[in-house]
Amino acid sequence: MDPVIGIFLIILPIILAFVLLVFLHKAADVTGVVVWFVTIVIAIIAFQTDITVTFTASLAGIVKSFPISLMVATSILMMTFMQETGALQRLIVFFKTLGGGSRPMQILMISFGLGLFLVGIGATPVSMLPPVMLALGFSPLVAVALPSIGYDPLTTFALLGVPAVVFTGEYSTWGATISLQEAGTVFAWFMPVVSLGIAISMLWIAGGRKLLFNREGIILASICGLTAGLMAIVCNFLLPLTTLTNVFAGAMVLLVLFIYNRVRGKAIIDRQILDDKDLAVESSMSLRRASIPWVVLVILSLVTNMIPQVFQFLFVDLAFPLSIGTYPAPINTRILWQAYTLMLLATIVSIPFLRADRAALKRTFTGFRKRAPRPVLAAAIFFAMAEVMNFSGWVLDSTGVWLNPTDLANGLDPSNNMIFLLASMTAGLGIIYPVLAPFLGLLAGFISGSETSAIAMFTKYHVETSTIIGANAVIVSASNGIGGGLASVLSPAKIQNAAAVIDEIGIEGQVIRYGLVVALLMTWATAILTMLQAFALTITIIIIVLIMIIVPVAVGIILLFSGRSQHNIH
């Protein structure tokens, strides 16, 4: 394979996905199927991959997607059920009262702290919080953008830590074996900076410079960001609670904000904002009963993750490995431990408590069938694409054994493997290469709408390239995942979801333009942290890092004074 032609063919599906999503406004599932098919054709024709390998790898990728794709399905099922029983509306009314009238407090309590907690247990802030923010008086743009960027300020620990779990499996497959806590700890050291940056960016999105330079806002953003980031370190470095990181971090942020308000003598709840419709919803169901599905889910999550014997039994002993044809290794499904199973159980258990009748259940399943298939397909198909890339150039011998082209003993052309070709070409960047990793994750997260998909797409690539240049492979690979998580604010699927619930379809482009600034700045900060950790500190590394810090600061100062000059002129 000619390297130049090969690189072009590898990035062609990615360019195609970008065009379909941004310029042709195609849905994520349609885009995913198209780019998967194009990747299949390129792998078979140009990279000489055995056709059986491509389709078997695709099926394996779909199975690997279950922790995220089935989580999407059960999350939609629970949210639809809660909506049809009135529980969701009751919770939204309660959320509207939070914040005590302070704009920074409302933003950080609801979109940051509550958003952390919700996505931690598997709920979706982009479905729940836009109506709340709109009711609080924020513009449609802000009401959509804040839940999107707040989808997960801790990036990797959403949905009961599914991205961290998938990263553990992917990295252990292509690199050294790594435990879930070890993987979580690597991610956690990035989090104080990442979560702090996201908290501050929420102020800018919601109120521009006025809120960005608001004294109370900066104090609250710093408290929230650092609290969440430090809790990530506690839950991974000090305690084996990787899968519950978001739950504890979100709860701690809310607790700290409550204490802050009490110390300052301010109310945390303001019921004056409720209108007659809200009061009617409030009187129809108690808050305690409305929250039962989430309470049950939290209890199940705590039991299955905090009791070592239960975790060992479900995660390790009952891993339920699944073999797919001649695929090189079985895939551990861990069906009984997965968050999607816990969410399904929580939904079933809550049926009698929410007094769901047959009509409500029928409406739930009707809504589920309407809403779930396309998001589930979108979540799964990019895993299939990633596996095709990983196994491109592999062929079958006469006995049906898969032969790896990068194993020189097989006598195959190693450049027929897309990941090997990418690694060998970009290794020429040398010590600058780790800067690229989080931006590739950002790109993959934008295309697929999922950090987990970004991890599946590029982990092998980062492991191989890091090994070539002598960088810390787990640090570089983790930064790719964080970049994928930061893409939430750019994800067309998430933004469209948020816009749809407040009937504002069409503002996605505006949200992405705002989100792009935040995503690029935070990914750049992640790149700086990656450089500091990927190699032993030398004078050269320190100089590179200083340049990386100075450049955005200088650009920001220029833009700030340029804006003031324009303001004075007018």
**DSSP letters along 476-545, please?**
HHHHHHHHHHHGGGG-HHHHHHHHHTTT-TT-HHHHHHHHHHHHHHHHHHHHHHHHHHHS---HHHHHHH
**Secondary structure (H, E, C), 536-562:** CCCHHHHHHHHHHHHHHHHHHHHHHHH
Cα 500 off chain centre by: 20
Greatest mean pLDDT range, 112-116, 150-154, 268-272, 362-366: 362-366
Tokens of 400: 């049906």
- DSSP string spanning 221-273? HHHHHHHHHHHHHIIIIISS-GGGHHHHHHHHHHHHHHHHHHHTT--SB-GGG
Q: Where are the domains of the chain?
A: 3-393+409-535, 537-570
Q: What is the pLDDT of residues 324-340, one digit of tens each?
A: 988 988 998 989 988 88
Average pLDDT of every residue of the chain: 85
Contact in structure between 427 and 141 (CB atoms under 8 Å): no
Contact in structure between 462 and 477 (CB atoms under 8 Å): yes
Q: Which pLDDT value is given to residue 570?
A: 37
Integer CA distances (angstroms), 560 to 436, 495, 553, in order: 27, 28, 10
pLDDT over 90 percentage in the chain? 32
**Can you list the pairs that 330-333 forms with residues at least 24 positions away whose Cβ atoms lie under 8 Å?**
331/60, 331/63, 331/64, 332/169, 333/63, 333/66
Sign of the dihedral through C-alpha 182, 187, 189, 195? negative
Average the pLDDT over 53-62 and give the result: 94
pLDDT at 249 over 80: yes
pLDDT at 74 over 50: yes
Which residues neighbour 210 within 8 Å (Cβ) at sequence distance 6 or greater?
A: none
**Strands 395-396 and 331-332, how do they pair?**
unpaired
Please, which pLDDT band fits residue 448 given cuts at 50, 70 and 90? low
Contact in structure between 291 and 86 (CB atoms under 8 Å): no
Q: Which pLDDT value is given to residue 194?
A: 92
What is the distance between the alpha carbons of residues 403 and 377, in angstroms, rounded to a whole number?
A: 30
What is the distance between the alpha carbons of residues 160 and 174, in angstroms, rounded to a whole number?
A: 24
Please, which pLDDT band fits residue 298 given cuts at 50, 70 and 90? confident
What is the distance between the alpha carbons of residues 461 and 170, in angstroms, rounded to a whole number?
A: 11
pLDDT at 497 over 80: no
pLDDT at 37 over 50: yes
Q: What are phi and psi of 291, to 5 degrees?
A: -90, 5
Q: Which pLDDT value is given to residue 560?
A: 62
Integer CA distances (angstroms), 310 to 126, 284, 304, 307, 318, in order: 32, 38, 6, 5, 10
- Rg, the chain, Cα only: 23
Contact in structure between 159 and 339 (CB atoms under 8 Å): yes
In residues, how long is the chain? 570
Please, which pLDDT band fits residue 244 given cuts at 50, 70 and 90? confident
Burial class of 477 by CB neighbour count within 10 A (0 to 12, 13 to 18, 19+): buried
Place of tokens 């970009």: 426
Tokens of 53: 């390998």
**Which range has the worst mean pLDDT, 229-233, 347-351, 371-375?**
371-375
- DSSP string spanning 433-458? HHHHHHHHHHHHHHHHS-HHHHHHHH
CA dihedral 123, 128, 130, 135 (to 10 degrees): -140
Q: Across-strand partners of 332?
A: 321
Q: Which pLDDT value is given to residue 567?
A: 41
Q: With residue 41 as reference, give the H or E element that holds it.
A: helix 28-45
Give the residue from 294, 179, 153 showing the smallest Cα distance to 231. 153
Give the residue from 172, 184, 186, 169 showing the smallest Cα distance to 476. 186
Burial class of 286 by CB neighbour count within 10 A (0 to 12, 13 to 18, 19+): exposed
What is the distance between the alpha carbons of residues 208 and 189, in angstroms, rounded to a whole number?
A: 29
Q: Which pLDDT value is given to residue 188?
A: 93
pLDDT at 27 over 50: yes
Average the pLDDT over 450-475 and give the result: 85
What is the distance between the alpha carbons of residues 289 and 278, in angstroms, rounded to a whole number?
A: 17
Place of tokens 């090997």: 420
Which residues neighbour 126 within 8 Å (Cβ) at sequence distance 6 or greater?
A: 147, 148, 151, 494, 495, 497, 498, 501
Please, which pLDDT band fits residue 568 given cuts at 50, 70 and 90? very low
Which residues neighbour 298 within 8 Å (Cβ) at sequence distance 6 or greater?
A: 121, 247
Residue 109 identity (one-letter amino acid): M
Q: Which pLDDT value is given to residue 566?
A: 43
Contact in structure between 222 and 181 (CB atoms under 8 Å): no
